[in-house]
Structure 1
């Protein structure tokens, strides 16, 4: 199975195409898309739903909505919160409210042993410190481009780093992937998203697996198995 640890399934048109070949961790952006993602997971067995409020949408969301969403998550046995986190790079004006809402997600992640599917633009160290303070054990850093000297701490904490197809044109992400052990990597697409000249989609995960096979001098099939093993390990309760 090919693993897509961070994909916006509610924006994809042909989900049937991936049945039998992929496992998706589908992230949401607000209350509405969280509910839609839960519904998709009932229709498609290969979808692991994540619910949350994207930092970019905090301006039009409230703390009360976040709490209400977490009650929905608990009542539906949701295992993953995402896309959640902090962003000081693109929406610094809402950072105080982002922190308020993220603390709610951290509370629930700790209490219910949930996976956090994280957005951390410009806030990698702050989010890491909050994870440690809240004693959150399961975290995935989506499309990590943070400080390279933080990678060891992420690894030592048992957290995972995403392999996004942006490595094709983003030198820093390529370098980070090269420095991260296979045991702490998961593939993702962040589809559907246009990053500069690159249209991100689940088909590109195959290229990421080929890259990992070259970097680690392993057969492609072995890499696929290890990434799937990482995925299942992250979601083990």
Structure 2
């Protein structure tokens, strides 16, 4: 988080920071310190994330939900959108943010049920497309179902996707995957997803697609 904020400060208008508290990283003795960091630095970022729940993680579910609930409160207080990690917990994450009144959120690398995706879209939330589109049927199905107006592009760098160790430039892999699945020109995907991102995160970045 500190490194991300530093890079954003050094590259204004080109790099925009999101800071989070990933459920894999929750340690009971560190919770208050990490939450205090988010409270202090939330004003210096454009989003809070990744945050959420992971029901395959070793961290106890009750502790994850307690931390996520507090993170939601921080995001609401500072009017920041959430970037959501919801592995094997899609429904519960959706319920928690909806019940709390969160209006802006993106479900990172969505592979969950399509009936829930319909609710996510209806609620005005987004999902993101990753290079996993090259091989993941559940991810492909979600991107096929979601309207372009509710899709963002990402890489989850430096995650490894089979033979690809992703880098920021591999957002083009995500872009081409969306274009192929949707049957539209990559330039249209670039234009719409850029508009989606600038709107969701409140950016005023120059864009070649405007």
Using structure 2 for the length normalisation, give the TM-score. Answer: 0.89
Give how far 1:220 is off. 2.0
Question: After superposition, what is the alpha-carbon deviation per residue over 1:137-160, rounded to whole angstroms, capped at 9, x for unaligned?
Answer: 111111111112111111011111
Q: What is the match of residue 50 of structure 1?
A: 18
TM superposition shift of 1:204: 2.5
The correspondence of residues 128-207 of structure 1 with structure 2, limited to 5 A, is 128-207=94-173
Query: Structure 1 residue aligned with 2:91, among 121, 125, 135?
Result: 125
Aligned to 2:76: 110
User: Which of 24, 37, 40 is the matching residue for 1:69?
Assistant: 37
Residues 5 and 44 in structure 2, CA contact (< 8 A), matched pair in contact too: no
Contact in 2 for aligned 1:166/1:198 (Cα 8 Å): no
Q: Tell me which moved more, 61-70 or 187-196.
A: 61-70
Residues 163 and 177 in structure 1, CA contact (< 8 A), matched pair in contact too = yes
Deviations 1:50-78 (A, max 9, x none): 1121111102653312331122224x432
* The one of 57, 67, 86 aligned to 2:53: 86
| 2:169 corresponds to 1:211 | no
Deviates more, 1:206-215 or 1:165-174: 206-215
Count of matched residue pairs: 202
- Separation in 2 of the partners of 1:153 and 1:57? 29
Q: Which runs of 5+ in 1 are unaligned?
A: 1-33
- The structure showing larger relative contact order (alpha-carbon pairs under 8 Å, at least 6 residues apart) is 1
Residue 95 (1) aligns with residue 45 (2): no
Consecutive unaligned residues of structure 2, counting only runs of 5 or more, are 204-210
Q: Is the 8 A contact 1:184 1:230 kept in 2?
A: yes
Structure 2 SS opposite 1:120: strand
Correspondences of 1:26-37 after superposition (within 5 Å): 34-37=1-4
- Are residues 218 and 132 of structure 1, via their aligned partners in 2, closer, same or farther at CA, if it must alter by over 3 Å? same
